[in-house]
Amino acid sequence: MQVNNLFKQDERITFENYLNKMGIDNVYKYLKPPTAVLDSCYIYDNIQECVNTIKYHILNNNRIAIIEDADTDGICCSYMMYEDLKLHKVSKVKVFIQDGKERGIESKNIRKQILEWKPDLLIIPDAGTNSAEWEDEIIDNGIDICVIDHHNPSEKKVCKRAIIVNNTMNHLECNDKLSGTGVTFKVLQALDYSMNTKYSNKFIDLVGLSIISDSMDVRTYENRWFLKYLLDDKENVNNPFLYELFDIFFNPLGDIYTQRDISFKIVPLFNSVIRCGTLEDKQKLFMAFCGKNIESTIEMCQKYHEEQAKKVENFVNHHKEDIEIQSDSNITIIDAQDSIKAFNGLCAGRISGMTNKPCIVGKRIGNELCGSFRGYIDVNVMNKLPHVTMAQGHDTGAYGIKIDIGDSDTSKSQNLADFRAEIDKMDISTIPTVITSYSANKLQMGIFDEFVGNDDLWGKELDKPTFYIYNIKVDNKNLTLMGKKNDTLKIPLNDKCEVMFFKLSEEKRNLFGFYKKKNEDGEIEYKIKPKTININIIATLGVNNWRGRKTNQLLVEDFEVKEITNDFEDLM
């Protein structure tokens, strides 16, 4: 197993030095950020013009429309804008909710509805920066437009006639890693100052939620402030719908929760409704943020989350042969007529995780293969590859893609072959970076005291520290699988530390010598084939406190197992 060590042999390995290496120069300020780290709303370009426009329409009780973008960040900022306008006594405000996963006003149906309703002002939060063609059409119909966004601009697509507040387009230095909800919060702050109100502070919890849901870089001091506010105390959660969800999922844990907990337990509930639900379901989800029908909405979210998992599993199983055929290529491309746009990213992510290489899932629309990419090829690199007509989204890891495949089976085969050939030339191997490496018999217990804790810190671009521990020699005869699914394994390393493996697949259980066998009652149980093995692991650090006894734990994220068959290997 190949790894890169973040620390050199002569460097002092400390928690503070790790944060320094990750780009955080003032650790104390990061751990306990003062309110001074918050950017003034007035440093944002066009924010005063935006506020003046919104204020004008509020004071004249004009018709105001809001477009909800189709993700958790979009829900949060459209709800905030809607609720804020209601607090300002605006009676004619309407939220237009996407029926699919379109962005901003790219949906023809949304544009039609807006023109039919004839608002005086259209507010587009979390989208709209690159929608000049459609925004010009709206403006030509006498409607003012305020775009409040955080996505990178494409120069030819930016509308010159709309008022755009976007942290990635700012002339003055600001937090360009803030979410769409965060930028909306800045606009509402400025509106408060202009209207002599104090409504924006009730939405701080949603800014923290959106930073997590939209996978924003958590290393900026301002993002850390919003996250700490959300994570420090459940009583800081002001939104009643979010509070109820936190109470359900985190109360049994003593109301202790992390960014990872929210990312895995809360955010997928919202996204599953966006992917699986009807328009009425999405409207119900929006109204739950407004405090309506919270209990039944939570039940709906849980139902759709289960349905979403089944759909992804079924898709992957249906295309197993396609995946296996491409095992020798650097990329898996699934051109499937049964693909569903809202699920392409999830399916591509699952396949990428299974195969440890990039994946595209999509289907032919006209002369293009349209879908989602998941993997580690930068979006700017992808845009330069043969026949790629569009790659747009996050810089790395996850974005939408279109590939020109022509109008015949011959051209499709050739174009995809050209595209694949360029990716097959790339070195797509990713070598994990760890803090440092230790031989199993030289692992220092002091690193647990140094690094365990601070679990609220770890998020996008600030990974939980991992370590490489090698040459763990084990006689497998005494190993026993644990848990309801027999997928957990605990191996004592010494009297102070144990190694924990979780969610072991059947294939990985076999590496340790486990195999299935029916007992006398016809029940399946696990037996073990005796052998001596050598294990190398990449693991995070934890501590288990049980009945007054403290045990350090290596929580395995990746591993390799090799059987020891002779004395020479025993010494390696």
Q: How confident is the model at residue 396 (pLDDT cuts 50, 70, 90)?
A: low
pLDDT of residue 410: 79
Which position has the higher pLDDT, 424 or 221? 221
Other residues' Cβ atoms within 10 Å of the Cβ of residue 59: 11
pLDDT of residue 353: 87
Tokens found for residue 358: 């990039």
State yes or no: pLDDT of 253 exceeds 80: no
Any idea how long the chain is? 572
Average pLDDT, the chain: 92
Tokens 């329409």 belong to residue: 57
Q: What mean pLDDT do residues 149-177 have? A: 92
State yes or no: pLDDT of 116 exceeds 50: yes
pLDDT of residue 547: 80
The C-alpha atoms of residue 562 and residue 114 are separated, in whole angstroms, by 63
Strand 359-365 versus strand 368-374 pairing type: antiparallel
Q: Which stretches within 68-203 are classed as H helix?
A: 72-87, 108-117, 132-140, 180-195
The CA-based angle 181-183-189, given to 5 degrees, is: 100
Q: What mean pLDDT do residues 481-503 have? A: 94
pLDDT of residue 382: 86
Other residues' Cβ atoms within 10 Å of the Cβ of residue 245: 22
The C-alpha atoms of residue 344 and residue 361 are separated, in whole angstroms, by 5
Q: Considering only CA atoms, which of 3, 60, 45, 107 is closest in space to residue 429?
A: 3
The C-alpha atoms of residue 447 and residue 453 are separated, in whole angstroms, by 12
What is the SS3 string spanning 266-327?
CHHHHHHHHHHCCHHHHHHHHHHHCCCCHHHHHHHHHHHHHHHHHHHHHHHHHCHHHHHHCC
Other residues' Cβ atoms within 10 Å of the Cβ of residue 453: 13
Least confident interval from 137-151, 156-170, 399-413? 399-413
Least confident interval from 135-139, 461-465, 544-548? 544-548
Give 555's DSSP letter. Answer: E
Q: What mean pLDDT do residues 158-182 have? A: 95
pLDDT of residue 397: 78
Residues 510-535 as b or e (16 or more Cβ within 10 Å = b) = ebbbbeeeeeeeeeeeeebeeeebbb
The C-alpha atoms of residue 516 and residue 259 are separated, in whole angstroms, by 38
The C-alpha atoms of residue 315 and residue 244 are separated, in whole angstroms, by 33
What's the N-to-C CA distance of the chain in angstroms?
14
| One-letter amino acid of 307 | E
Segment 56-75, tens digit of pLDDT: 999 999 999 999 998 999 99
Q: How confident is the model at residue 84 (pLDDT cuts 50, 70, 90)?
A: very high
pLDDT of residue 441: 93
Q: How confident is the model at residue 571 (pLDDT cuts 50, 70, 90)?
A: very low
State yes or no: pLDDT of 213 exceeds 80: yes
